[in-house]
Structure 1
Amino acid sequence: MSGEFTAEGGHGAVPTEGVETGQGVKPSRRAWPLYEVFVRGKRGLNHVHVGSLHAADDEMALHNARDVYTRRNEGVSIWVVRADAITASSPAEKDPFFAPAGDKVYRHPTFYAIPEEVPHL
């Protein structure tokens, strides 16, 4: 499969062909790079993808992400990552990409006899 892919919101990869990411372009107001924004909420430990934004540099992206995605104190931590720095697998490659784990039976304790004296294993 041709083309580049990036992760978006944990829903797999999406094509970025024809989408301006700012890669190789001197930042200007018209061609600011695209950033993906991840926020960690107060109740959880995981950062969750909440959206995207364009910014001139990393610091501006962080400040803009704070202003746009945490207006109601929803988060305790923010990550911003340039979209052109993300490498992701393609949903079309799901079966061949993850298939090698299936033939490693030693990773799954399905053939061990568990004694009855061992609780909650």
Structure 2
Amino acid sequence: MSEQTSPKTWPLWEVFVRGKRGLSHVHVGSLHAPDAVMALRNARDVYTRRQEGVSIWVAKASDIAASSPDERDAFFDPAADKVYRHPTFYDVPDDVEYL
């Protein structure tokens, strides 16, 4: 095995599985693999052994951008001043059954 294909140099992949019960994919874990095809196969073998899923997504961890939990207040603060986004801002007529 060459240094380039050594498991020590394989990228980290984040795995998301969509269960039978819903439509949302949920992060279930991480694994190392040389490419996306192998990451999907390994994810299937590791995270859906008991047929828990109907769909799998894999994404290179290095390609994921995320906000920091430490910056939560500053990052999400601009949404606090937009009261019109909250349902309490609107008056709903009594004759509207489903909203």
TM range (shorter): 0.7 to 0.9
- How far apart are the structure 2 equivalents of 1:28 and 1:113? 62
Mapping of residues 29-68 of structure 1, within 5 Å = 29-68=7-46
* 2:69 equivalent in structure 1: 91
2:87 corresponds to 1:117? no
Find runs of 4+ consecutive structure 1 residues off by over 4 angstroms. none
Q: Which protein has the bigger helix share?
A: 2
Alpha-carbon shift at residue 64 of structure 1 (Å): 0.7
Instruction: Specify the SS of the correspondent of 1:110.
Output: helix
Identical aligned residues as a percent? 71
Q: Deviations over 1:66-110 (max 9, x none)?
A: 111111111110000000001110011111111111111222243
Instruction: Specify the SS of the correspondent of 1:117.
Output: coil
* 1:101 equivalent in structure 2: 79
* TM-score, normalised by the number of residues in structure 2: 0.84
Code of the residue aligned with 2:80 in structure 1: it is G
Check 1:28–1:110 CA distance in 2 against 1; reply closer, same or farther (3 A cut): same
Alpha-carbon RMSD across the aligned residues, in angstroms, is 1.7
| Structure 1 residue runs without a partner (length 5+) | 1-25
